[in-house]
Amino acid sequence: MIAAIKQAAVDRFPLTISGIHGLAHWERVLENGVYLAKHSGGDVLICSLFAFLHDCCRESEGSDPEHGARAAEFAKTLRGGILKLEDERFELLRYACEHHEKGRLSEDPTIGACWDADRLDLGRVGRRPNRRFLSTERARRSSVIDWGYRRSRGHPAKLKG
C-alpha cells in the first residue's frame, strides 16, 4: 500500500519533485517517522503514509497555507481505493495532514511522531529544529535533533540506540 500511495503523491505533486518539499524530504520524513513512532508507541503505518501525503498538494514552496487541508482532502479521495484504513486510523492520518503546518504540538503518539518527523527535517530550509516545537520525548533529544538536522543538510548521519 505504501508504494501505491507514494506513487499517487508523486503523480499529484505539482511542484518540482527534487525541490525542498519533494521526494527526498518525504523519504527523510519517512525514516524519521518510523523511528519516532517505534519509540512513542505510535502507528508506524500512519506515520509512513503521512510522510508521502502531507506535502503532496503544495502549490508553492513558500508558506502555502491550507496545503495540509488539501492533503487531507486528497487522502479522502484515495480511501477505499489504494488507501485502505479503518475509520479510527484514517482519522489520525487525516488530522495529522490537515494540521501539520500550524506549528502545534500533540500528545497523541502517532500525530506527535508525524509532526516531529517533518520538523526534524527543517535543516533543508536552513532552520535547526527547536525542541519546544517537538511533541515526542524521543525527538526532543539532542542526539535525535542532530541526526535529523545533519541528514536534512545532506550529510550522512547515524543514530545509536
Contact residues: Fe ion, CB under 5 A: 55, 118
Q: CB nearer to Fe ion: give 43 or 118.
A: 118
Q: CB nearer to Fe ion: give 43 or 55.
A: 55
Task: Give me the least distance between CB of 86 and Fe ion, in Å please.
Answer: 25
Task: Give me the least distance between CB of 12 and Fe ion, in Å please.
Answer: 15
- State how far the Cα of 9 lies from the Cα of 16, in Å rounded to an integer: 12
Q: CB nearer to Fe ion: give 65 or 161.
A: 65
Task: Give me the least distance between CB of 13 and Fe ion, in Å please.
Answer: 12
Task: Give me the least distance between CB of 80 and Fe ion, in Å please.
Answer: 26
Q: 58, 14 in Cβ contact below 8 A?
A: yes
Amino acid at 119: R
Task: Give me the least distance between CB of 34 and Fe ion, in Å please.
Answer: 15
- State how far the Cα of 112 lies from the Cα of 35, in Å rounded to an integer: 12
Q: 136, 112 in Cβ contact below 8 A?
A: yes
**Widest distance between CA atoms in the chain:** 40
Q: CB nearer to Fe ion: give 82 or 125.
A: 125
Radius of gyration of the CA atoms of the chain, in A:
14
Q: CB nearer to Fe ion: give 14 or 80.
A: 14
Helix (H, G, I), strand (E, B) or coil at 23: helix
How long is the chain? 161
Q: 93, 50 in Cβ contact below 8 A?
A: yes
